[in-house]
Structures are given as structure tokens and as C-alpha cells.
Structure 1
Amino acid sequence: MEHTAHHTGAAHDHAAYEDHAGHIGHAPAGASWRTAAQATLHCLTGCAIGEILGMAIGTALLWGNVPTMVLAVALAFLFGYSLTLFAVRRAGLDFKTAIKVALAADTVSIAVMELVDNGIIAIVPGAMDAHLSDGLFWSSLLGGFAVAFLITTPVNKWMIGRGKGHAVVHAYH
């Protein structure tokens, strides 16, 4: 089935998704490391925007650790989903289908990334109490992203190789 940039309805979108997902799910070679790294970088971009914004807001407002992390994680999911949502909307999907694709594509990747990144921030001594002007704030945050990327990439490779995660987005590109 050829996918065009102008889908006319949810039924067509669902059929296209099913056709593509079935095709990828049966790929014997699985996903390449390059594809997995690109998917992870896409996810990391949204996570980083939300995470940095949330941490910066919480820190600037002198919030406690828990509300700051909750805001950072919520914004990471929001921005992570938004990047995929905007991309598949530009490809012609209706809003409802685009939301389903974004949720399917990014939920596990963002969750793993956030668990790792926030776990690292939580275990680095003093990182949770550092301020925006402290090198420790930025080094623990960016170091957490680097480790999260290394851990999330194999997860994305496994998922894409099984027609899940970012594989569902490729049906519309």
C-alpha cells in the first residue's frame, strides 16, 4: 500500500498503520542501530526540551525536588509527544490518529529515558539542590541525558525491530 501525504480519514489511517506495522513486524533483520539511534535522538530532543524547561522553572521558583521533577517529567512527555504529533500531522493524519501514533511511538522510549535521566539526577550528590547557575545542575542533567540515550537506544532497537515504538511513525514518512 502506498502512503500519501493526504489521508482522508481515520479508517484509511488505521488501515495504513496496520499494513505498515504488519510489514515491519515480520522484518527478519530487525532494526538497525542507526535507525534506533535516530529514534532515540528524536525522543531525547523532546525529553530534553521538557526536562530542562521543567527543571529550570522549578529551580527558579525555588520549588522542592518532588514538584520540580513532576513538572520536568510532565513537560518531557508533553514535548516528546508533541514532536511526533506535529510530524505526523504534517504528513496528513487527522488529530485523533496522530495522537494514537504519538502515544504508540514514544511512550516506552520517553518513560525509559525519564527513569534513567531522573534516576541519575537523584543519585548524584547535591544535584537535586543545585541552582541554575551551578555547573553541577547542568552536568548532572546533561550527563543523565547521555546515559539515558545509551540505555534507551537498545530499547528502541528492540521495539522497532518488532514493529512497535517509532516503527509506527515510519508508516507516515
Structure 2
Amino acid sequence: MGHPAGEHHHHEEAHGHDAGSLTRTAISATVHCLTGCAIGEVLGMVLGTAFGWGNGLTIAVSIALAFAFGYGLTSIPLVRAGLPARQVVGLALAADTFSIATMELLDSLTILVVPGAMDAGLGDLLFWGSLAGALFVAFWAAVPVNRWLIARGKGHAVVHAYH
């Protein structure tokens, strides 16, 4: 059943976003999320490579650190705003969990499918190139996820007022 002429019923408009501004907001949220993910991911991969950990442990530590840094960066403005710890944790989890999970899934899979990437040393272009490429893929996979969440008042939209 159609809508009467001139009546728009887009969910994103209900949240005060037109399609272009919603996409820009999603990209901004994804850049923010990527910053924390990248710090954790790179640190985990560097530690795993430097200490000779196996692929599974290296990826697990990278993912754990990506979540820790992602939530940490989201929490900073919330703490500065004087919110209680319980609210900070709840907002950070609501804001970033789905985005970080999407990024880490795509990032880890990308690194695993690049031949030799997990065996490359810290001085190898393959190590840094595959990591950068994986983060690039993860970013563009997370933009539509964040756009979808923000359009529904979820994801990064729950902390937008504090950033």
C-alpha cells in the first residue's frame, strides 16, 4: 500500500537525518570506532608477531584489545560529561558493540585470507599492508551497519550528544 503524495515515511527522517547527513554521520561514527579498533588491532598483531604467538592467540588478543580501546575511546567524553560508571558502560556497549564486532570479523577474515599475512614479520611490508587493507575493508563494511543503527536511534546515536 502506497503513501499519499508528498508524504514521506522514511525512518531516518524521523530521527532528524536526511539520507546524506545520515551517511555522513555513519561515516563519522565509523571513523571514531575504527580509531579504537585500529589501535587495539595493531597492538594485538604487533604483540602476537613480536612474541611469536600462534594465529589464534594473536587474533584473539587483537580482537579483545580492539573492543577495549573502542569502548575506552567512546567512554572518555561520557566520563568527562560526569555520567556514572554504570551509565558509561551501558552507553559504550550500546554504541559500539555491533560496529566493533562487524569490523573485527571482517578485519580478521581479511588478514587470514591474505597469503602469508599472519606469518609476516614486523619489518615486512606484507604485515603492514595486509593490516592496513584489512582495516580499510572493515571500515567500509561497518559504515552501512552504523548507518542502519543510527537511523534507528541506536549504535553511535546513543552517545552522539556527548561527542
Contact kept in structure 2, 1:101 and 1:168, CA below 8 Å: yes
Higher relative contact order (Cα pairs below 8 Å, separated by 6+ residues): 1
Structure 2 residue corresponding to 1:99, chosen from 78, 89, 98: 89
**SS in structure 2 opposite 1:68?**
helix
Determine if the alignment matches structure 1 residue 27 to structure 2 residue 22.
Answer: no
**SS in structure 1 opposite 2:122?**
coil
Instruction: Report sequence identity in percent.
Output: 58
Q: Distance in 2 between matches of 1:62 and 1:102?
A: 32
Give 1:134's aligned residue. 124
Aligned partner letter, 2:23: W
Tell me the TM-score normalized by structure 2.
Answer: 0.87
**Structure 2 unpaired stretches of 5+:** 1-11
Q: Distance in 1 between matches of 2:148 and 2:13?
A: 11
Structure 1 residue corresponding to 2:144, chosen from 144, 150, 154: 154
Contact kept in structure 2, 1:160 and 1:167, CA below 8 Å: yes
Q: Deviations over 1:128-160 (max 9, x none)?
A: 111111110100100011111111101100100
Aligned partner letter, 1:60: A
Q: Distance in 1 between matches of 2:162 and 2:46?
A: 34
Give 1:40's aligned residue. 30
The aligned length equals: 150
In the TM superposition, residue 26 of structure 1 has moved relative to its aligned partner by 3.7
Aligned partner letter, 2:42: I
**Structure 1 unpaired stretches of 5+:** 1-23
Determine if the alignment matches structure 1 residue 168 to structure 2 residue 158.
Answer: yes
Aligned partner letter, 2:63: V
Alpha carbons of structure 1 residues 169 and 25: separation in structure 2 relative to 1, 3 Å: farther
In the TM superposition, residue 172 of structure 1 has moved relative to its aligned partner by 3.2
**SS in structure 2 opposite 1:163?**
coil
In the TM superposition, residue 25 of structure 1 has moved relative to its aligned partner by 9.2
Structure 1 residue corresponding to 2:115, chosen from 125, 136, 158: 125
Structure 1 residue corresponding to 2:63, chosen from 73, 80, 94: 73
Aligned partner letter, 2:91: V
Aligned partner letter, 1:53: L
Q: Distance in 2 between matches of 1:93 and 1:85?
A: 10
In the TM superposition, residue 87 of structure 1 has moved relative to its aligned partner by 1.5
Q: Distance in 2 between matches of 1:170 and 1:48?
A: 21
